[in-house]
Amino acid sequence: MNAPQTAIDLTARPRVAGHFRLQWEEVQKAWVLLYPEGMVKLNGSAGEIMHRLDGEKTVQAVIDELESQFETTGLTADVLDFLTIAQRQGWAKA
Amino acid sequence: MNVPLNTAAAIAPAPQPGPPLWLLAELTYRCPLHCVFCYNPVNFAKTGAEAELSTDDWLRVLREARAAGSVQCGFSGGEPMLRDDLEVLVAEAHRLGFYTNLLTSGVGLTEVRAAALKQAGLDHIQLSFQDSTKELNDFLSHTKTFDLKRRTAGIIKSHGWPMVLNCVVHRLNIDYIGQIIEMAVELGAEYLELANSQYYSWAELNRDALLPSREQLERAERITNEYRQKLGDKIRIFFVVPDYYENRPKKCMNGWGNVFLTITPDGSALPCHTAKMLKGIEFPNVKDMSVQDIWYNSSGFNRFRGDGWMKDPCRTCPEKEKDLGGCRCQAFMLTGDAANADPVCDKSPFHPRVQEAVDYAQIPDEQRTVTKPLVFRDPKTSRQLDHTNFDDSRSLHSRS
């Protein structure tokens, strides 16, 4: 169970995992993950990443999109870090 | 019992709460079961089918709650399957963007209705073990109950719902915790909640018969941990200890009027499903007020927000933000004043009342001098107890 976390490949096409539902909550002004009797409220950057995971876009495409939308560069490490957490929490699947 | 408004309350008004994220829709108090640990009010029979909100009322409640920011919706009861408009309500909740949960005993969950609920967009079913103690033997011997559960579990799985089983644990079934876990595994559950009975309503009437001994509790926790190790990721098991065995109270409902909104079958809006017992507090009804108004502006929901209402020892306690003084209903039941500290806390001058119940729980059944019969939740008993007034029914507790 404690096998080292496999690094996330930039060509992987992750998606929101099975029993989670991701949606924008206007009242909270946040993306949330919903699951049986529970909710995870995502912070701004986590939400921006998660809602781009559609199982079709590659990780690289998500990074490109974010960098272009927020007119910045060097987001690769941040996005990979978050995806590692999201996978560990079971929120996302590659 | 009227608490004079203290100066702290005047200086520090309760902070503006967040939205009512959790909406619990108690559709009906009608139920085919007679569980001795039921948390529905003891006088539930007063609210029969004729007093229940109509379909249109519920649809309006769902829309108003969603607009106010509710996102989780639980359909509960009683047995919610007894409402034949359940599918209509689930469909509307789903359309509005709720994550929809059904909390059921499984009685009435036929293949036809399950298919209709799936079609309506139901996200999750929590199936409770139908251990109403009258049926304990049946339950433990895996016969009729097990057949029903297996059928229901099969229906749930075939529709792709996550399988969450809930079993209320107490003195009479806690020694069979291993069998209960094995049953859950056999049924293919992904989650199992072993929730010790909390002592409200019917469970409070039956407290002496239901509160396990420390030895029983420790054994059950040990066995649960052994199964967790053995089963690994196959099933997630939650074990909730009875708060009587803690020294600090639970942060009840994550704070009064903070996250949870319960609507009872007749439309009363409550900060938790047992709050109606609190004397002297007026709770609004969805027939008279919008959900938005109820949540932010009603006196009932503002009553215990913030910490201005607290008395000593809570008022000056360094841990007050951690548990917010515990549960208002428990404070009311055990001390007569809902603004007191929850006596589960060992700083409460009333803590000996909890301790006394815990001490009594250590006496083996066969050495007890007075054995009171279990009070089963049914409409007839409910009407009798309502007539004798709740305070009198509490004398069931006296062991003199």
Q: Is B162 on the interface with A (CB under 8 A)?
A: yes
Which residue in B21, B162, B233 is closest to A36 by CB distance?
B162
Between A53-62, B9-18, B150-159, B199-208, the lowest mean confidence (pLDDT) is in B9-18
| The two structure tokens encoding residue B167 | 């079993």
From chain A, the residues in CB contact with B126 under 8 A are 36-37
Q: What is the pLDDT of residue A58?
A: 96
User: Beta-strand (E) ranges in chain B?
Assistant: 22-26, 72-76, 99-104, 124-128, 163-169, 191-196, 236-240, 260-263, 269-270
Higher pLDDT, B254 or B11: B254
| The two structure tokens encoding residue B85 | 């408009």
Between A10-19, A56-65, B141-150, B152-161, the lowest mean confidence (pLDDT) is in B141-150
- Residue percentage of chain A with pLDDT more than 70: 93
Shortest Cα–Cα distance, A53 to chain B (Å): 20
CA distances from B312 to B43, B316, B355, B388 (A): 32, 6, 20, 33
Instruction: Give chain A's length.
Output: 94
Q: What chain A residue is nearest to B164 in terms of C-alpha separation?
A: A36
Q: What is the pLDDT of residue B129?
A: 81
Confidence band, pLDDT 50/70/90 cuts, at residue B308: very high
Higher pLDDT, B86 or A8: B86
Which residue in A1, A21, A27 is closest to B99 by CB distance?
A21
Q: What is the pLDDT of residue B170?
A: 93
The ipTM is 0.88
Confidence band, pLDDT 50/70/90 cuts, at residue B140: low
**The dihedral formed by the CA atoms of B1, B301, B38 and B201, expressed in degrees to the nearest 10:** 0
Q: How far apart are CA B156 and CA B118, in angstroms?
A: 10
pLDDT reading at B132 higher than 70 = no
Shortest Cα–Cα distance, A71 to chain B (Å): 32
pLDDT reading at B59 higher than 60 = yes
Q: What chain A residue is nearest to B70 in terms of C-alpha separation?
A: A27
Higher pLDDT, B34 or B98: B98
Confidence band, pLDDT 50/70/90 cuts, at residue A6: low
pLDDT tens-digit series, residues B165-196 = 999 999 999 999 998 899 899 888 999 999 99
Mean pLDDT across the stretch B148-163? 89
Three-class secondary structure of residue A54 per DSSP: strand
From chain B, the residues in CB contact with A39 under 8 A are 21, 71-72, 99
Confidence band, pLDDT 50/70/90 cuts, at residue A1: very low
Q: What is the pLDDT of residue B290?
A: 98
β-pairing, B163-169 vs B124-128, is parallel
Q: What chain A residue is nearest to B124 in terms of C-alpha separation?
A: A36
From chain B, the residues in CB contact with A32 under 8 A are 71
Nearest CA to B206 among B20, B42, B323?
B42
Q: How far apart are CA B300 and CA B282, in angstroms?
A: 6
Q: Is A38 on the interface with B (CB under 8 A)?
A: yes
Confidence band, pLDDT 50/70/90 cuts, at residue A29: very high
Q: How far apart are CA B348 and CA B57, in angstroms?
A: 42
From chain A, the residues in CB contact with B233 under 8 A are 1
Q: What is the DSSP letter of B285?
A: B
From chain B, the residues in CB contact with A27 under 8 A are 19, 68-69
Nearest CA to A36 among A16, A51, A18?
A18
Contact A27 B164 (CB under 8 A): no
Confidence band, pLDDT 50/70/90 cuts, at residue A28: very high
Answer for the pair B41, B273: CB distance below 8 angstroms, yes or no.
no
pLDDT reading at A30 higher than 80 = yes
From chain B, the residues in CB contact with A25 under 8 A are 69, 71
pLDDT reading at B8 higher than 60 = no
Q: What is the pLDDT of residue B3?
A: 36
Q: What is the pLDDT of residue B212?
A: 97
pLDDT reading at B387 higher than 50 = yes
Between B30-39, B88-97, B146-155, B230-239, the lowest mean confidence (pLDDT) is in B146-155
- Residue percentage of chain B with pLDDT more than 70: 89
Q: Is A39 on the interface with B (CB under 8 A)?
A: yes
Answer for the pair B142, B150: CB distance below 8 angstroms, yes or no.
no
pLDDT reading at B306 higher than 50 = yes
pLDDT reading at B51 higher than 70 = yes
- Average pLDDT taken over every residue of chain B: 90
Q: How far apart are CA A68 and CA A92, in angstroms?
A: 23
pLDDT tens-digit series, residues B199-215 = 999 999 999 999 999 99
pLDDT reading at B397 higher than 50 = no
Shortest Cα–Cα distance, A22 to chain B (Å): 10
Q: What is the DSSP letter of B343?
A: T
What's this model's pTM, rounded to 2 decimal places?
A: 0.90
Sheet holding B236-240, edge to edge: B236-240, B191-196, B163-169, B124-128, B99-104, B72-76, B22-26, B260-263, B269-270
Q: What is the pLDDT of residue B248?
A: 96
